[in-house]
């Protein structure tokens, strides 16, 4: 059966017709020479939008975070990071392998927060026996949870008081901005309230904003100059890349406010899954919904969903992510399919095997 609803991630989106038109119309140059006008305009736009002096366009968020970490830290330095944070757990150990930067991972609570006392206790004294603690790295959103602004203020103030810089992995920064937007604020006002606490921020265009490729690292002119050198070493120098920058620029102009629609669909999904015996909803604050499936039936549920045109990820706990290519009908089909699975006893369809991780 042809897949109808792809809820594996907000990275699976297809460029809209208007985005494709913007890509085709983009004026181009050679970005390695610094003369691609579309890239330059995007970098100026995202830096200004988030309150920084400069920005650097990157092909991926992993490279953007890596360049940020290596711009802040040298060989033998250390950064403090969450045990389950993306930069530590899911980016191939790049900071250690390529930057000789020692990570100091700390335990996180269910919403991704590291205890302030743990952060303070992890900062090493200035002694030749220890790596030099240079940086605190936070993530917002974390597993769909927007970080409370009070926590961000306290954690970044603690870091600065101890002489550390602070970096934000803001892959889904604008989801956090929408979720924590205050009365009278625009989404960009809300985003700047977050980014104003940090020395550098990596923001992704290819997740909720729906561009096919790209992230940007934002910071001071000096930091971005250092990051530019790292990007070159990491193979991130691209030529006529304005075709991709145009998609990111279009996303900033047209796909930020609409993230609220994704959040509403996630709530619709979470509410539709409430009350099912053997299933519990764990999170639905932005565009990500986690559910726990009892009795080891997660793999069977994944196969059943796939057979009925719905893609998700996970095994024991399943993850559903809403995005601009998902609509209310798709969410309702997903809810109906999950309910049908449990109504028939939660058994995998005949002939289907339990799936592996996606």
Tokens of 204: 């992704």
Displacement of CA 305 from its chain's centroid (Å): 25
Interatomic CA distance for residues 72 and 137, integer angstroms = 11
Helix intervals (H) in the chain:
17-25, 37-50, 61-72, 86-89, 94-99, 116-122, 149-161, 173-179, 187-195, 221-233, 242-254, 259-273, 298-307, 328-343
- The matching CATH number, chosen from 3.90.1150.10, 3.30.2310.20, 3.30.70.980, 1.20.1300.10, for 259-343 is 3.90.1150.10
Q: How far is CA 200 from CA 83, 134, 169, 190, 280, in A?
A: 20, 13, 9, 17, 37
pLDDT for residue 345: 78
Residue 37 neighbours by CB distance under 10 Å: 14
Give the residue from 200, 181, 202 showing the smallest Cα distance to 191: 181
Q: How far is residue 217's CA from residue 225's CA, in Å, rounded to a whole number?
A: 11
Position 284 scores a pLDDT of: 73
CATH, domain range 17-254:
3.40.640.10
Phi, psi of 152 (to 5 degrees): -60, -40
Least confident of 166-175, 314-323, 345-354: 345-354
Residue 211 has pLDDT above 60, yes or no: yes
DSSP letter string, 181-217: PPTT--HHHHHHHHHTT-SEEEEESSSTT--SS-EEE
Residue-wise pLDDT for 71-100, tens only, equals 999 999 999 999 999 999 999 999 999 999
The average pLDDT across 275-284 equals 88
The lowest-confidence range among 190-199, 246-255, 339-348 is 339-348
Strand partners, 145: 142
Decide: pTM greater than 0.85.
yes
Domain borders along the chain are 17-254, 259-343
Contact 88, 105 (CB under 8 A): yes
At 92, list the tokens.
């191939």
């Amino acid at each position: 059966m042809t897949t109808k609803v792809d809820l594996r991630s907000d990275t699976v989106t297809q460029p809209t017709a208007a985005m494709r038109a913007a890509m085709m119309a983009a004026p181009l140059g050679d970005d390695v020479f610094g003369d691609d006008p579309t890239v330059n305009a995007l970098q100026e736009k995202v830096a200004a939008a988030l309150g920084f002096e400069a920005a650097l366009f990157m092909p991926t968020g992993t490279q953007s975070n890596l360049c940020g970490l290596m711009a802040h830290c040298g060989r033998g330095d250390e950064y403090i990071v969450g045990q389950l944070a993306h930069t530590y757990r899911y980016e191939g150990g790049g900071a250690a392998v390529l930057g000789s930067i020692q990570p100091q991972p700390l335990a996180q609570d269910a919403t991704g927060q590291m205890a302030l006392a743990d952060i303070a206790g992890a900062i090493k004294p200035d002694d030749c026996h220890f790596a030099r603690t240079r940086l605190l790295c936070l993530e917002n959103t974390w597993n769909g949870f927007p970080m409370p602004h009070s926590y961000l203020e306290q954690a970044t103030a603690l870091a600065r008081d101890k002489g550390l810089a602070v970096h934000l992995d803001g892959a889904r920064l604008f989801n956090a901005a929408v979720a924590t937007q205050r009365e009278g604020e625009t989404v960009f006002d809300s985003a700047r309230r977050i980014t104003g606490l940090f020395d550098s921020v990596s923001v992704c265009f290819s997740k909720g904003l729906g561009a096919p490729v790209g992230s940007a690292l934002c910071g001071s002119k000096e930091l971005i100059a250092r990051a530019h050198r790292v990007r070159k070493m990491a193979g991130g120098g691209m030529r006529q890349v304005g075709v991709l920058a145009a998609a990111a620029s279009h996303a900033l102009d047209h796909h930020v406010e609409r993230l609220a629609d994704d959040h509403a669909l996630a709530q619709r999904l979470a509410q539709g899954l409430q009350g099912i015996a053997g299933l519990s909803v764990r999170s639905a604050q932005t565009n990500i919904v986690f559910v726990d499936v009892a009795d080891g039936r997660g793999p069977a549920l994944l196969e059943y969903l796939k057979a009925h045109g719905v893609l998700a990820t996970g095994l024991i706990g399943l993850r559903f992510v809403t995005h601009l290519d998902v609509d209310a009908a798709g969410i309702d089909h997903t809810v109906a399919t999950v309910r049908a699975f449990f109504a028939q006893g939660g058994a995998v369809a005949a002939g289907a095997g339990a799936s592996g991780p996606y």
